[in-house]
Amino acid sequence: MATNKVDALLVGSGVMSTTLATLLKKLDSSLNILMVERLDQVAAESTDGWNNAGTGHAGYCELNYTPQGADGNVAIERALTINANYEISQQLWSSLVESGDLPSPDQFINSTPHISFVWGKENVEFLRKRYEKLKDHHLFADIEYSEDTQTLTEWMPLVMGERVDGEPVAATRVAYGADVDFGSLTCNMVASLEKQNGFDLRLGHEVTALKKNGGNNWHVTIKNRSSGKKEAITAGFVFLGAGGGALPLLQKSDIPESKGYGGFPVSGQWLVCQNEDVIKQHHAKVYGKAAIGAPPMSVPHLDTRIINGKPALLFGPYAGFTTQFLKAGSRLDLLKSVSANNLKPMIDVGLNNMDLTRYLISEVMQSHKDRVATLQQYLPSAKAEDWTLAHAGQRVQIIKKDEKGRGKLEFGTELVAAEDGTLAALLGASPGASVAAQAMIEVLERCFRMRMDGGWKSKLKALVPSYGESLVDNAHLLQDIRRHTLTTLGLQAVAGKETSGETHHQERQEQRRSFG
């Protein structure tokens, strides 16, 4: 078995690994990078347009990022952090567009207003409090709020059509929100990488073993899933960016930092509209409040999407229980992930989250009629025959030990890195792809400290102008950055004007022509 040596081995071809590969090659074009993907296509798991939320999570409309405490106070800190991190992603994409590493932005990102919508007196009061706190921060200075039915009808005509008169309703809107086709984005970044010397992509290959050798290198075995042929790779750095597949590989690494981690897999489903006339009448991402007991990834939304250049309208996701860590994984994934060092945390989480488990199972057992009834809360005119069920991607939520050694379930993302910086893994889900740039910058800071201090920081700042500064604290910097990225990515919106999908597409093309 021949042995090849690489500077970095990246497992998975999704948006995380691809973003990291892009950053590494920008910072040092001489690096030799190998990307290994178990499927026969790039970005075909969680990053794929039909598997990923695609919202461009910016905290504008996701109500789970601004929870309300028992005292009635609405916490906005997480929304601020996510919004600032999303701005970092947009800066990187803008730089890649300007350098020619990404194509015309409308191939992967499109202006789509982000709306939060609620009904009922208590929910309206919550949204009003949320708005009052957010609008005073410069990151959310452009957020709009209304309880006026005429205004709301202009923002989202299908949602307001056939709604019960007199029912208290309210919404917030950020007009320059975006829909991101992370599948297209990632495929285009990989295409750019493949044109560069020192980058190799192996599709249809999987990692079967990885072990630290006597030095600071990793001995990794990869297998061709078609022929069964194995190959040995010596890597100076390994990144496990394989979505739900990252946890089992992290466990194989046996680094001390991996001890105690487990995974709680959650599946998802969408209702997808088949009626072109309905699709054309809605152009927004309309988010509501999650049901009591639902995981954050199940916040319901009526979602305009542009996938592979074609408009789509989705509602969901409906969560479900699964034992698979990947959509193309095995039903034994959960069982195989149990080990002596994570058994107690996983048992603790299982015992303390029975309500969640029952909720997920009940979601799976719903009929089409049940799912359409939920949809009709957002789209009163929805007809069952216009919508079909589609399966979304898998999410593996993090199980870890708390400060008392008990298991706890978390719904964010977390970077686990070896102390010597030779291996890192990204675990978890939301907000996921939208904050890929910041997540991978954290990998650079933790695993390439000497290179960062040796000149990479200045190069990184050229790609991400706000690097090293806080967009949460610096209003003037945020204004300059946002003005540039919105222009470069073609996301300017006409204030107070809602458009149909067709009209929006025409305006979008006019914008692109005006940019030259």
Q: 406-445 pLDDT, tens per residue?
A: 777 776 788 999 999 999 999 877 678 999 999 999 999 9
Q: Give the Cα separation of 67 and 40 in Å (integer).
A: 40
pTM of the model: 0.89
Report whether pLDDT(114) > 60: yes
CB 250 within 8 A of CB 427: yes
What tokens does 52 get? 């990923």
Among 2-11, 45-54, 91-100, 285-294, the range of highest mean pLDDT: 91-100
Per the rule left: phi > 0, alpha: psi between -120 and 50, beta: everything else, 305 is beta
For residue 180, give the nearest of 229, 227, 114 by alpha carbon: 114
Q: Lowest mean pLDDT: which of 86-95, 190-199, 217-226, 296-305?
A: 296-305
User: What pLDDT shows up at residue 388?
Assistant: 96
Q: Give the Cα separation of 262 and 218 in Å (integer).
A: 23
Q: Residue 323: exposed, middle, or buried by beta-carbon count in 10 A (0-12, 13-18, 19+)?
A: middle
Query: Which residue is associated with the tokens 């800071």?
Result: 445
Mean pLDDT of the chain: 87
Query: Sign of the CA dihedral 64, 65, 66, 68?
Result: positive
Give the rounded distance of the alpha carbon of 220 from its chain centre. Answer: 28
DSSP 3-state of 269 = strand
What tokens does 199 get? 């980058």
Q: How many CA atoms lie within 13 A of 104 on its CB side?
A: 12
Q: How many CA atoms lie within 13 A of 54 on its CB side?
A: 35
List pLDDT tens digits, range 371-419. 999 999 999 999 999 999 988 877 777 777 777 777 777 767 889 999 9
Average pLDDT over residues 169-186: 96
Q: Give the Cα separation of 229 and 200 in Å (integer).
A: 18
DSSP-derived letter for residue 419 is T
Confidence of residue 336 (pLDDT cuts 50, 70, 90): confident
CB 470 within 8 A of CB 90: no
| Angle of CA points 505, 510, 516, to nearest 5° | 130
